[in-house]
Amino acid sequence: MSLAAKEDRLPYYRPTGNECTIFEMAHNNGLPLLLKGPTGCGKTRFVEHMAARLGRRLYTVACHDDLSAADLIGRYLLRGGQTEWVDGPLTRAVREGAICYLDEIVEARKDVTVVLHPLTDNRRTLMIDRTGEELHAPPGFMLVASYNPGYQNVLKRMKPSTRQRFLSCTFGFPAPEDEIAIVAQESGLEPGRVAPLVRLGGHIRNLSGMDLEEGVSTRLLIYAATLIAGGMGVERSLEVAVIEPLTDDDDVKTALRELVVTIYG
């Protein structure tokens, strides 16, 4: 199979810098990687693309407030009247030499980072206290984590001692020409009709003095373009895919609708 044909079979991702090279180098050298960037800018798709490109199985964990170390490592469960150990996604990734991706790692409980530390240095080990096992990560295993620096606060902040165990790569929203190509590819809407959407997204991200925690994501632009490609009107598509997801504030909604009118005329 040609290289071009192989690329066509991978989850679609359009590089915006040298992030693919960084990921490959990290993987080849057994180094953990931290992805930093706003919600919906392509971090998860990037990891999916790279895992497929490298031929590695991917275990993705969406971190949250209640995620504990046991959720990652595993636990004993009662099955058929007998107690049986069941590996968690991190343990399975270590055993198989796969990639484990912890999305929004700062949302997880503090005991999670303690478990990760031996995997992110020269030991590359995972201790399973409940079974007494000490797993050594084989070549091919890679730990990838992500978080959104814009949402960090005093209670949810990655400790420097943890952050400095990872290589880091910062993601932002794509340049307009790249974002047009991405949205068109993912939604099926022709680039000429995608261009105003991307222009709208850029204006929203540059707004100041408005009660928006974050600008519109590329993901939401893809949603809007998908609705438009499916026959829904532009105004309605933007209402349900951009304006409503961004805010509950009526005044902000009104301002966004006025911006839509300005862009689309």
Q: What are the extents of the domains in the chain?
A: 3-170, 176-264
| Average pLDDT taken over every residue of the chain | 91
C-alpha torsion sign, points 254, 260, 262, 265: negative
The pLDDT value recorded for residue 159 is 82
Does residue 262 carry a pLDDT above 90?
yes
pTM exceeds 0.95: no
Range scoring the smallest mean pLDDT among 56-65, 150-159, 192-201, 238-247: 150-159
pLDDT digits (tens, 9 = 90+) for 99-126: 999 999 999 988 898 899 999 999 999 9
Compute the average pLDDT of residues 233-255. Answer: 95
The pLDDT value recorded for residue 139 is 94
| CATH class as words, domain 3-170 | alpha beta
Residue 54: band (very low, low, confident or very high) from pLDDT cuts 50, 70, 90: very high
The pLDDT value recorded for residue 1 is 46
pLDDT digits (tens, 9 = 90+) for 62-76: 999 999 999 999 999
149 vs 8, more confident: 149
The pLDDT value recorded for residue 259 is 94
The pLDDT value recorded for residue 3 is 46
Phi, psi for 105 (deg, rounded to 5) = -60, -30
pLDDT digits (tens, 9 = 90+) for 131-169: 999 999 999 999 999 998 876 554 577 888 889 999 999
The pLDDT value recorded for residue 2 is 47
The pLDDT value recorded for residue 80 is 81
The pLDDT value recorded for residue 153 is 53
Does residue 7 carry a pLDDT above 70?
no
The pLDDT value recorded for residue 214 is 80
Compute the average pLDDT of residues 211-231. Answer: 93
Residue 208: band (very low, low, confident or very high) from pLDDT cuts 50, 70, 90: low
